[in-house]
Each structure stands twice: as C-alpha cells, then as structure tokens.
Amino acid sequence: MGKVALVIVLLVLILLFVLMPGKSNAPSPDAPTVGAASAKPFKVALVTPGAITDGGWSQSAYDGLKKIRDDLGATISNKVAGSSTEAFAAFGAFAGEGNDLIIGHAGEWFDPKTLEIATANPKSVILISGSEKSEGNVVGARYLLEDATYVLGQIAGSMSKSGILGCVGPKELPVIESTFYAFEMGAKSVKPDIRVEVVWTNEWADVARAKERTLILIGKGADFILHNCNDGAPGVFQAIQEKRKQGADVYAFGSNADQTAMAEDAILASAVLDISAAMLNVAKKMKDGSFERKAQFLGLPDGLVWVAYNKKLEDKVPAAVRQLADETVEKIKKKQLQVPRRILK
C-alpha cells in the first residue's frame, strides 16, 4: 500500500473514533463545577455577656443565631464572655476562623481593641449591639428598647399610688441607663412630679443581689419596677412575688423579651425586643452583599420592639390607661413621637 493510501486510511479511522456514539467531551451534568466543592460557607458567630438561658438579652441573641442557621444555612458558633478581655479573645478567634459576621452583644465592646482585631481581619464584620458608632468593619446596632420602656413608664406613672417607681440594672452602662431614662420620661409625661429610683447590682448574673436591691426599692415605696439586668431578672421577680403574697400592691415589668412566664403573678407587661428578627435581617444583607457598614437603628416603627401584656393581669390596667398606651404606640409607630433617649457616645 502506498504512503498516500496509508495516510488516508489512518485519517478515516481517527474520524470514526471521534464520531463514535456514546462518547462525549462535555462534562457530566452530575460532575461538580470548578470551585463548587470548595464554595465558602456563610459563617456567623455570637459573643454574649450573659448565659444563653437568661430568658432575655443574651438568650434572645442566641435564638437569633439559631434562626440565622436555620433560615440561611449558616455555620454558627457562640461564646459567653464574662469580661471584655474574654470577648476580645473570642472576636480574634472567630475572625481567625473566617467568620463573615461576628456579633458582639454588648455596647461596651465597641472598643479600640475590637477595632484593632477588625483591621487585622477586613473580611469579617463585627456587629456591636447597643452601640451607635461605626468605624470600618465594626458596626453598631442600636436596638431602641426605649420605644417600649417609655410606654411602660406611662402605664406606671398613671397607675402608681405611691408616686415612686423603681429600676434595677446590672451595671451603669449608657445603653441600659437610656432605657431607664425613657421609662422615667414616659412616667413624667403623665405625672411630672413622680420619682424614679434606680439601683444597680454591679453584677450581670447575681440573682440574690438583684432580689436584695429590689426589696430596697419596695421598701422606699416603689410600686412599679422595671428591670434590665439580664441573668439577675429572676431575683427581681422573686422579690415582687414575695411582697405581693404579703399583700403589697406592687408590679414588675419584664425587658428584652416577653418574660411573663417567669412570674405570671407579678409581671404586668414587658418591653419586648425581637433581636432574632433584627439579627436575621442583618445576616441576610451580609449574605447577599447588600449590607451597608453604618450604624443600624431598629425599633418600634420597624416592628422589632413592642409592649407585651400579661393576659392574666391585663385587666389590672384601667381602660383609660390602656388607651393612652395604645395611642402612644401608634404615635411612635408613625414617627409622630420621638421617644426621649440617651445618645450613646
């Protein structure tokens, strides 16, 4: 066979092989696309100042973290930090693990150390609850619980027989002082000469101390008491329950969550903050890339703050007082009333 004929035969064989049925150079539809196996998961971490079973501030944040996991498929982590030093260590560790969003659930953690950690980890956003500041990838989230504590103040001021109200807090932090200030201003909007006494436990989770301080307030004549003391809340409720059993006409207000179940015979209403929904909203924006790195202000007009009444004691609130409270809620919702609050620096 001549060389030319041999070449023609080889070319025909090659062509037949290429066109043979059942062979394809296209990738299988089930084959992973390039990079799919290594797609980066959305990671979110939470650092709280109190136990995630406190029934209020910290537990609400942890519930929000679980909601982010369930709704967005995020990989989540959490840490309880008993001090700022522990919180900063957690921020550094979580940033090092590649978390996209790190939530620090205490306003005092907006700190130069946090900024230092954030600068070293520019791909992570650190969201600080209870802060109005924003710098680089450290962003404050100001949850306006004052929208509800102002209304509770109006209820207390209208119903108080002694003319003395009380507040119990853990530490003198601006964000907590602001909720008490709004409560006082709400009370004074209906009774200008009313007095509001504030006591501090100086601890985040000391139930006995919270009870002791509450009893001091009751001894001074306070007949409506608002707390904002995280894990110490049961102590506040225990003191009021005991006094009510002895015949005292004194009531408690819950905070950060509907705390009615903790003391149905003592809590008249609660100032509720839907931290879960607020956190989920931020996380969604982080995941889809629409999040703006600026301070977030979230309150009653956003549907994230409200007053929850205890159904068992709701009839104790006179109709005229309830009407006033409802009208105030509507004014806040429509932004016809700006609730007095402290500006956090």
Nearest Cα residue to 116 out of 80, 98, 91: 91
> Looking at residue 204, what is its pLDDT?
82
> Looking at residue 6, what is its pLDDT?
46
Fold: same for 41-143+276-300 and 146-273+313-333 = yes
By the 8 A CB rule, do 167 and 333 touch?
Answer: no
111 φ/ψ angles, rounded to the nearest 5 degrees = -140, 155
Q: How confident is the model at residue 39 (pLDDT cuts 50, 70, 90)?
A: low
Q: How confident is the model at residue 22 (pLDDT cuts 50, 70, 90)?
A: very low
The average pLDDT across 56-71 equals 95
| Amino acid found at 195 | R
DSSP secondary structure string for all residues of 26-61 = SPPTTSPPTTGGGPPPPEEEEEESS-TTSSSHHHHH
| Residue 11: pLDDT over 50 | no
Residue with tokens 């530490």: 171
DSSP secondary structure string for all residues of 153-195 = HHHHHHH-SSSEEEEEESS--HHHHHHHHHHHHHHHHH-TT-E
More confident residue, 57 or 178: 178
| Residue 65: pLDDT over 90 | yes
Q: Using CA atoms, how far apart are residues 175 and 321, in angstroms rounded to an integer?
A: 27
> Looking at residue 205, what is its pLDDT?
86
pTM over 0.85: no
Decide which of 3.40.50.2300, 3.30.450.20, 3.40.50.970, 3.90.1300.10 is the CATH code for 41-143+276-300.
Answer: 3.40.50.2300
The shares of helix, strand and coil residues in the chain, as percent rounded to the nearest 5, are: 45, 20, 35
Structural domain boundaries in the chain: 41-143+276-300, 146-273+313-333
> Looking at residue 25, what is its pLDDT?
41
Q: Using CA atoms, how far apart are residues 256 and 166, in angstroms rounded to an integer?
A: 17
| Residue 36: pLDDT over 60 | no
| Residue 26: pLDDT over 50 | no
| Amino acid found at 123 | K
The average pLDDT across 19-28 equals 42
DSSP state of 300: G
Topology (CATH) of 146-273+313-333: Rossmann fold (3.40.50)
State the chain's maximal CA–CA distance in angstroms: 121
Using a pLDDT cut of 70, give the percent of the chain over it. 88
Q: Using CA atoms, how far apart are residues 67 and 76, in angstroms rounded to an integer?
A: 10
> Looking at residue 77, what is its pLDDT?
98
Q: Using CA atoms, how far apart are residues 96 and 300, in angstroms rounded to an integer?
A: 36
In tens, the pLDDT along 200-240 reads 999 888 999 999 999 999 999 999 999 999 889 999 999 99
193 φ/ψ angles, rounded to the nearest 5 degrees = -95, 10
> Looking at residue 108, what is its pLDDT?
92
By the 8 A CB rule, do 252 and 183 touch?
Answer: no
196 φ/ψ angles, rounded to the nearest 5 degrees = -120, 120
Instruction: Identify the burial level of 269 via C-beta atoms within 10 angstroms of its C-beta, where 0-12 means exposed, 13-18 middle and 19 or more buried.
Output: buried
